Amino acid sequence: MKFTINTGDDIDWEAEAKEQLKNDVLNILKTRRGEVPFMPGLGLDGKYIGRPVSEIGPALRNDITEQLEKWMPEVEIESISIAADAKGDLNVEIEVNGT
């Protein structure tokens, strides 16, 4: 299964099955670490905000990988690619195998 996630996308709270998997990943990407009570390790580090992809790409890719391995162990990551769109929003394309 392959899907593209844009950090500007909205979460579909009524999604089911495979679409819910995409939502779960998007939720992790849109959460800043420390913002969820009782789950302080959930989410991405805030240090990536406002920085160019050329500076943060490898670190962000590692952070995404660690978060998905920790919070979504049922998902096997095949690839992650990160680029900025014209508005500066990050486009994160993730290819995964999972249920």
- Contact 70/41 with Cβ under 8 angstroms? yes
- Contact 70/64 with Cβ under 8 angstroms? no
- Burial of 4-42, coded b for 16+ CB within 10 Å and e otherwise, reads ebeeebeeeeeeeeeeebbbbbbebbbbebeeeeeeeeb
Domains, the chain, with CATH or none = 2-97 (3.10.450.40)
pLDDT at 99: 60
Q: pTM for the complete prediction?
A: 0.83
Average pLDDT score, the chain: 86
Q: What are phi and psi of 35, to 5 degrees?
A: -85, -15
Evaluate if residue 62 carries a pLDDT over 90: yes
Evaluate if residue 98 carries a pLDDT over 80: no
pLDDT at 39: 94
Note the pLDDT tens digit of each residue in 3-38: 777 767 888 888 887 788 888 888 898 899 999 999
